[in-house]
Chains A and B, each alone.
Chain A
Amino acid sequence: MRIYAIAVFLFLYVPIGIIVLFSFNAGRHASELRGLSIQWYGKALSNPFVADAFFNSLIVALSVAVLSSLMGTAAALALQRLKGTVRVLFDGLIYISVMIPGIVIGIATLVALVTVFDFLNPLLASIWPEGAKPPKLSMGYASVIAAHTLFTMSIVIILVRARIAGMDRALIEASMDLYATPWRTFYQVTLPQIYPAILAGFLLSFTFSFDDFIIAFFVAGANTTLPIYIFSSIRRGITPEVNAIGTMVLAVSLCLLMTAQFSLRARTNR
C-alpha cells in the first residue's frame, strides 16, 4: 500500500522534476543533459517576446483575481440572504460555469464578442465625429479577463459561501444588538471571518488565469499570454529555454497555491 502511494507520488512529481532539471541544462539540445547552468533563464528573461507575454499574463491574471474576488464575494453575501427561485437559478448558473469545459467558454466568448464587435464597429464609425479616427473594438485584454472571470468568480462564490455557512451567526446578532450599523457589522465582524476564503479565492483565480491556455487561445487576439507563447514554442520544438520558462510558470503557481492553502488552513484552525 505504502509502496503504491510512493509510486503514485513519483508519477505525479517526476515529470515536473524533469522539466526543472532540464531547464538548468548547460547544453544546447533540450534532451541531452550536459552539465548545469542558469544560462537559459538569462536567455528567457532577455527575450522580448517572453517579457511581453509574461507582462500580458500578469495584467490579465491580476485583473481577473481582483474582479472575481470582489464580484464573487458580493454575490456570495447576497446569495445567503436569498431563497427560492432566484437562488436555484444562481446555483444552476454557478454550477454550469464551473463544469463547462474551458474550450466551450473560449469558443462561445469568441463567437459572441466577434458578433457584437461586427455590429458595434460600423455603428461607432458612423456616429464618430468627422475626421477623428473611430475606435475599433477587438479581442484583447478585456475579452480574456471577462472570459476567465466567468469561471473564477464562481470559484470565489463557492469558497466564500462555504465559509459563510461555517460562520458564527451569534456574532452578527450580537453586533446588531449592540447597535452597530450594518456596514460596521460587515466590516468588523463578517469580513474578518470570511477574509481567508476571499484571499484563497483571489490566489486561485490568479493561478487559474495565469496558467490557462485554452480560453486565452481563443479570445486573446494579438495579446499573447505566457501559456500561448509556450504552446507555440513547443510546436517549433522543445528548447532548454522553454523548460526555463515552464519552470518559472510552475514556480509562480506553486508559491501562490501554498499561500492559498495556508490561508484556507487558517480558517479551519480558528
Chain B
Amino acid sequence: MGADSKTNRWLTAALLTPTSLWFLFLLILPLIVILVFSFGERAAVGGYAGGFTLEHYANLPSRLKAFQNTLIIAPVGTLLALLVAYPLAYYLAVRVSRRYKLILLVLVIVPFWTSLLVRTYAWIFILGGRGIPTLLEFIGIEGVRLINTPGAVLVGIVYGYLPLMVFPIFVSLEKLDKSLLEASSDLGGSPYKTFTQITLPLSMPGVATGCMLVFILLMGEFLIPAFLGGGKVFFIGNALVDLFLQSRNWPFGAAVSVTLVVIMLITVTLYMRMTLRGNTGRDESLM
C-alpha cells in the first residue's frame, strides 16, 4: 500500500463528492431551512419573513382534522394491507413451485413501480357513480355511495401499497427453514399451531419491515386522498399542498411538515426498538 493509499484516499473522496453535495444541498440544508421557516413570520404576500415565534406550532390544532385522518387511516390502511398481503406472500413463498415463484413475485411488484397516479385514478372510475354503484342498482341495491368516503381511501391504500407489503414478508417466509414446518407436523402440531408457533413468529421481521415502509409512505400520502377522498377525507399531505401551493402560508406549512417528520421519526424509532432488527429485507424490498 504505502504511497498507494494516499491516491486511494483522494480517489474515494472524489467518487463521493457529487453524492455528498447532493445530500448536503438537497437533503440536509432544505430540512434545516424548513425547520428555520417553521419558527418564522409569514410575509404579507405569503412566503416567509424572518423572526422567531412559536405561533405556528400553537396553531397546529387548526389542521387537527388532517392529522386525525392521517393518524387513523394510515395505521388502519397498513393493517388492512398486511391482512391482504400476508396470505399471498405465504402462498408465493411456501406453496408455489420454484418455476412460477419468481414470475408471480415480479407480477406483484411491477405495479408498485408504475404510475400510482394512473393506478389510483382507475379507482375513481370503479368506485364512482357509474362504476360499482351502477352495478349494484342492477341487483336492486340503490343509493350506495362509495367514492369520497374513508372506505374508498382505504381501498386505494391497500391497492397502491400491497406490493410493498408482500415483498418483505415473502423474503422472510422464503428464508424460513421448511424442515421446521415438517418437524412441527411430525411432532403432532396442528396446522394452526404450526402457523402460530413457527411460521408467524419467524416471519415477523418481514411483517415489521412491510408495515413500517407502508406506514411511512402513507403518512406523506397525497394522491390517494385527493382522488378518492374528494376533499372530505384529507391527509396531512393534502393540507401541505394547500398551505404551500394555494394559501401560501409557508411558515405554518413548515411547522406542519416538521411535525409530520417528527411523528414519523418517533414511529420508526419505536418500531426499531420493538423489532430490534427491523432492517431485514429493507434493501431488497425496493426492487
Contact = CB atoms under 8 A, between A and B. Distances in A.
A204 interface: yes
Interface string A91-117: 001001111111111011111101100
A39 interface: no
Given A78-B12, A107-B244, A31 B254 contact: no
A162 B283 CA distance: 9
Interface string B1-28: 0000000100111011011001101111
B164 interface: no
Given A204-B113, A214-B222, A111 B118 contact: no
Interface string B205-235: 0000000010011011111000100000000
Given A18-B125, A75-B15, A234-B121, A246 B26 contact: no
B46 to A, nearest CB: 11
Contact of A108 (B18, B31, B106, B114): B31
A22 B244 contact: no
A158 B122 CA distance: 32
Given A1-B91, A107-B34, A15 B119 contact: yes
Contacts of B87: 1, 4-5
A264 B284 CA distance: 12
Interface bin, chain B:
35 or more
Interface stretch (A43-51, A128-136, A146-154): A146-154
B110 A257 contact: yes
B141 interface: no
A101 B220 contact: yes
A119 B117 CA distance: 35
Contacts of B88: 4-5, 8
Interface residues of A, number: 82
B111 to A, nearest CB: 5
A31 B124 CA distance: 11
Nearest to B18: A71
Interface stretch (A167-175, A187-195, A248-256): A248-256
A81 interface: yes
B119 A153 contact: no
Given A234-B124, A250-B114, A104 B27 contact: no
Interface in A8-35: 8-9, 11-13, 15-16, 18-19, 22, 30-32
B84 interface: yes
Contacts of A90: 16, 19
Interface in B106-139: 106-108, 110-111, 113-119, 121-126, 128, 130-131
Nearest to B28: A93
Contacts of B216: 99, 101
A159 interface: yes
A241 interface: no
A217 B220 CA distance: 14
B110 A254 contact: yes
Nearest to A103: B220
A177 to B, nearest CB: 15
Contacts of B240: 103, 107
Contacts of A16: 111, 114, 119, 122
Given A15-B159, A31-B131, 14 more contacts: A4-B91, A5-B104, A9-B107, A15-B123, A18-B122, A71-B19, A74-B18, A82-B12, A90-B19, A107-B240, A108-B30, A112-B33, A213-B223, A230-B117
Interface of B: 8, 11-13, 15-16, 18-19, 22-23, 25-31, 33-34, 37, 47-48, 84, 87-88, 91-92, 95, 102, 104, 106-108, 110-111, 113-119, 121-126, 128, 130-131, 159, 162-163, 213, 216-217, 219-223, 227, 237, 240-241, 244-245, 250, 253-254, 257, 260-261, 264, 268, 283-284, 286-287
What 7 pairs across the A-B complex have the smallest Cβ distances? A101-B220, A108-B30, A15-B122, A78-B15, A112-B30, A75-B19, A31-B130
26 contacts: A12-B111, A12-B159, A15-B122, A18-B122, A19-B122, A72-B19, A74-B15, A100-B27, A101-B221, A108-B33, A111-B250, A112-B25, A112-B29, A112-B33, A114-B47, A146-B22, A158-B283, A158-B286, A207-B114, A211-B114, A211-B116, A230-B121, A231-B117, A246-B115, A250-B114, A264-B287
